[in-house]
Amino acid sequence: GEDVEQSLFLSVREGDSSVINCTYTDSSSTYLYWYKQEPGAGLQLLTYIFSNMDMKQDQRLTVLLNKKDKHLSLRIADTQTGDSAIYFCAESFDTGFQKLVFGTGTRLLVSP
């Protein structure tokens, strides 16, 4: 079955790096995603990685994928107060459409 788990909460100081972790159970996923949810707003896609990749870097964001351990992480360099939000990892499968399975979300709090 599909199950995606995340730690609930992470607190960092401005300027530090943040690492948000995600584990999943279904190894047949094709894409894995990180979405950001700010208060009162919809979910916004931050970045994604294809399942045959190990790493993807996109400006301050680095995604690492360990397929053997079914572990996905998002590293945010030089974290800013504006990065405070809930971060969701999600996976999709080879069904030809975006039926995503989301994790429970990690609330990131960045203090000045």
Partner 1 sequence: GAGVSQSPRYKVTKRGQDVALRCDPISGHVSLYWYRQALGQGPEFLTYFNYEAQQDKSGLPNDRFSAERPEGSISTLTIQRTEQRDSAMYRCASSSPFGSGNTGELFFGEGSRLTVL
| Of the candidate residues 10, 12, 61, 101, the single one contacting partner 1 (CB under 8 A) | 101
The CB-of-104 to partner 1 minimum distance in angstroms stands at 5
Establish if 61 lies at the interface with partner 1 (CB under 8 A). Answer: no
Q: Among the candidate windows 11-19, 55-63, 73-81, 89-97, which touches partner 1 by CB under 8 A?
A: 89-97
Establish if 34 lies at the interface with partner 1 (CB under 8 A). Answer: no
Compute the Cα dihedral for 31, 46, 25, 100 and give only its sign: negative
| Of the candidate residues 52, 59, 68, 96, the single one contacting partner 1 (CB under 8 A) | 96
The CB-of-105 to partner 1 minimum distance in angstroms stands at 5
For 55-78, give the DSSP string: EEEETTEEEEEETTTTEEEEEESS
| Of the candidate residues 45, 55, 77, 109, the single one contacting partner 1 (CB under 8 A) | 45
Establish if 108 lies at the interface with partner 1 (CB under 8 A). Answer: no
Strand 55-58 versus strand 106-111 pairing type = unpaired
- The residues near 54 (Cβ < 8 Å, ≥ 6 apart) are 64, 65, 66
Pure H helices in the chain = none
Tell me the helices (H) and strands (E) count for the chain, helix number first. 0, 11
Q: Which residues here bind partner 1, judged by CB under 8 A? A: 4, 31, 40-45, 48, 88, 90, 92, 96-105
